[in-house]
Amino acid sequence: MRIEILTVGGEILVGRTLDTNFHFLARSLARLGTPPAWHTTVPDVREMISAALETAMARADCVIMTGGLGGTPDDLTRRVLSQVLGRPLVLREEVLRDVEEVYRRRGRIAPPAAQAMALVPNGAQMIANPVGLAPGLILPTPRGGSIIALPGVPEEMKAQVEQFVLPMLERQLGGSRVTEVVLRTAGVPESVLAESLGQAHPAGCDVAYLPHWGGVDLCLVRSADAPSSSEEFRQWADGIRERLDDAVYATGDESLEQAVGRLLLERGLRLAVAESLTGGGVGAALTRVPGSSAYFLGSIVAYDNDVKVKALGVSRATLLNHGAVSAATAEEMASGVRRFCGSDLAVSTTGIAGPSGGSDEKPVGLVYLGLASAQGLAHVRRLYPGRTREGVVARSIQGVLWLLYRHLRGLKVDDRFPDRGGEAGPGRDPGR
């Protein structure tokens, strides 16, 4: 099945909004064994949407559209579908009732614009919207294909795809699916991973290297029509997992912060965080995980030195003799927040994010991470030279999560940090 994804939204073309809908759809379709053959993005201009839709219908068996189904004047998808397919818009009373009911549950009266969401091309099959207002639409094309139109709001689009679109497509494809195993790694460069894996793959199987702020994900894939068996694929994947050993912190979609949370729960430990250059980013990452209140006690963002002294108990002598960006300060910050919160374990971050504020002795990108536990204090030093401010902070957040993970696994605490490599660029303002 040849699929084209047609994204409607001028905000994407000007870079104001990232097209996370395409990312989700493409990954979901790839897992079905039918990744999109084309992706087109057009602004909210009727003529341009019509032209893109005509082109997509001529070459694809299925066109999945996102965006333009709301009730505002720039929501043009329904009108374009009506025009291109020659199907007049009709008012669907059941859709209007559903929309009005959603407004009632929210304690509001449906505005006149709500009626626009109930105007759909004649003969359209409706896709219920379990988390929002605008329903999705399915329409046949003159060539025997189909058009699936979905809302642009990511939460609504995702719910409709997961609950209806993917099961429908899987039935049409006969249940043949790609097999995929994702190994999430940290602390090992992409080139070293590639050398470790080698070139010997079972027939119809391949490896994709997906670097990101926190490390490199290895996507092991067996195509739907691979001559090798599922058992051969499993043995190959297990062998890679064993060979990489502790560089793999999780499989599937589990993030590093989720892996840390899982280990904290398994060991019955509670955690606290003291942050300087990361400005609360570590605490934010940890609390993104549902149920984190079971192990995360709190975070103190001590950006200023006086706060480090008063809230965390960092010695003024330490700051004077070693500086705010130092191993001693990182350890005292971790010790102080552990004492203040009464936690079993604590970590800290301090460093120079840039672009200014560095020196020959302490350049921009220098970071110290501290750790305090019942066993004592420890720290790691890391240098991220030439990184943007955002890059230094992001790598520091992932670095302290990696430090926590290794400590909880009983592995050596060292300077192996997740780092993806990449280009450097200018930052905005100094920080530590």
User: Quick one: pLDDT at residue 109?
Assistant: 84
Percent of the chain with pLDDT over 70: 95
Domain boundary among 227, 251, 275: 251
* Within a domain: 189: yes
Is the pLDDT reported for residue 412 higher than 90? no
pLDDT at position 414: 63
Paired with 4 in beta bridges are 38, 63
pLDDT, position 176: 60
Judge if 14 and 149 occupy the same domain. yes
Helix (H) / strand (E) containing 232: helix 230-244
Residue 212 lies in a domain: yes
CATH code of residue 352: 3.90.950.20
Mean of the per-residue pLDDT values for the chain?
Answer: 89
In percent, the amount of the chain with pLDDT more than 90 equals 63
For residue 144, is pLDDT > 50? yes
Rounded mean pLDDT of 180-193?
Answer: 88
In a domain, 359, yes or no: yes
Flag whether 154 is in a domain: yes
Residue 342 near residue 271 (C-beta atoms within 8 A): no
- Do residue 278 and residue 367 come from a single domain? yes
Is residue 429 in some structural domain? Answer: no
Q: Among 52, 92, 91, which Cα is nearest to 68's? A: 52
Comparing 111-125, 158-172, 393-407, 417-431, which segment has the lowest mean pLDDT? 417-431
418 closest CA partner among 252, 299, 264, 249: 249
Does residue 339 fall inside a structural domain? yes
Predicted pLDDT of residue 417: 47
- Check whether 170 has a pLDDT greater than 60: yes
Are 229 and 275 in a shared domain?
no
Q: How far apart are CA 109 and CA 340, in angstroms?
A: 50
Confidence (pLDDT) at 430: 29
For the residues of 378-424, what is the DSSP string, one character each?
EEEEEE-TT--HHHHHHHHHHHHHHHHHHHHTT----S---------
Mean pLDDT of 269-277: 98
Contact 365/376 with Cβ under 8 angstroms?
no
Residue 397 has pLDDT above 80, yes or no: yes
**Does 423 score more than 70 pLDDT?**
no
The pLDDT of residue 249 is 92
- Is the peptide bond prior to 355 cis by the omega test (within 30 degrees of 0)? yes
pLDDT in tens, 316-327: 999 999 999 999
The answer on 283 and 322 residing in a single domain is yes
Same-domain status, 296 and 389? yes
360 and 262 in a common domain: yes
pLDDT score of 276: 97
Task: Grade residue 100 by pLDDT with cuts at 50, 70 and 90.
Answer: confident
The mean pLDDT value for 210-230 works out to 85
Of the two residues 131 and 330, the one the predictor is more confident about is 330
Two structure tokens written together for 331? 């350890």
Q: What is the pLDDT of residue 415?
A: 55
Average pLDDT over residues 190-212: 86
Q: Are 270 and 408 in contact (CB under 8 A)?
A: no
- Dist CA 390 CA 211 (whole Å): 17
Are 56 and 101 in the same domain?
yes
The residue-averaged pLDDT of 203-223 equals: 87
- On whether residue 19 sits in a domain, the answer given is yes
Task: Look at residue 70 and tell me whether its pLDDT is greater than 90.
Answer: no
Which candidate, 180, 179, 182, 247, places its Cα nearest to that of 210? 182
Which domain, by its residues, includes 43? 3-173
**Once rounded to an integer, what is the mean pLDDT over residues 31-60?**
94
pLDDT digits (tens, 9 = 90+) for 305-355: 999 999 999 999 999 999 999 999 999 999 999 999 999 999 999 999 989
Confidence of residue 57 (pLDDT cuts 50, 70, 90): very high
pLDDT, position 269: 98
Question: Taking 50 as the threshold, does the pLDDT of residue 82 lie above it?
Answer: yes
pLDDT given at position 398:
92
Q: Are residues 55 and 163 in the same domain?
A: yes
State whether 187 and 167 are in the same domain.
Answer: no
How does DSSP classify residue 134? P
Is 416's pLDDT higher than 70? no
Task: Report pLDDT for 322.
Answer: 97
Q: 10 and 126 share a domain?
A: yes
Number of structural domains (the chain) is 3
The pLDDT value recorded for residue 182 is 92
Identify whether residues 233 and 156 lie together within a single domain: no
Q: In whole angstroms, how far apart are CA 410 and each of 186, 190, 263, 286, 352?
A: 16, 24, 11, 20, 29
> Confidence band (pLDDT; 50, 70, 90) for 418?
very low
What's the pLDDT score for residue 40?
A: 97
Mark which of 173, 196, 211 sits at the end of a domain.
173
Whether residues 58 and 32 fall in one domain: yes
What pLDDT does 429 receive? 29
- Residue finishing a domain among 194, 228, 251: 251
Q: Could you give the CA distance from residue 162 to residue 374 in angstroms, rounded to a whole number? A: 45
Residue 138 domain-assigned (yes or no): yes
| Residue 15: CB atoms within 10 Å | 7
List the CATH number of the domain containing 33: 3.40.980.10
Query: What distance lies between CA 303 and its chain's CA centroid?
Result: 27
